[in-house]
Structure 1
């Protein structure tokens, strides 16, 4: 959102290893999944740092924050975060 100089990422809890109850390490094929998920997390950190270094605000919305019972509150917080409140 260039007007607010803000980048918003919408991350899946599994794919980006969110610390909510939706993320659970797979019990099979762990030699694939552990490095894959850890690479995603590391890439997220690198991308966030690059954007912050360029003067952008970086906000993340998690999959679990889009559930019906919490999404309205998350949207209100997002607006405040974008405005710097």
Structure 2
């Protein structure tokens, strides 16, 4: 399963106060909040990371203000699961 770039950017946008230009939380801030580099986070948004480290899942979900379903999607992606339906 791949998280779409739009989904990931949308999460960052919502965490910054809503959709729209200039409203997203900067990638560097999200990366810093989970103690990873900006390049790591850019790769995450591009979908080029093969796996997510389980230690960053909850902090990442916290900084992006993910709800329970979004957190479950993030965890499912991290363990290499597949989705039976499109979000």
TM-score by length of 1: 0.30
Higher Cα Rg: structure 1 or 2? 1
Higher RCO (C-alpha 8 Å, min separation 6)? 1
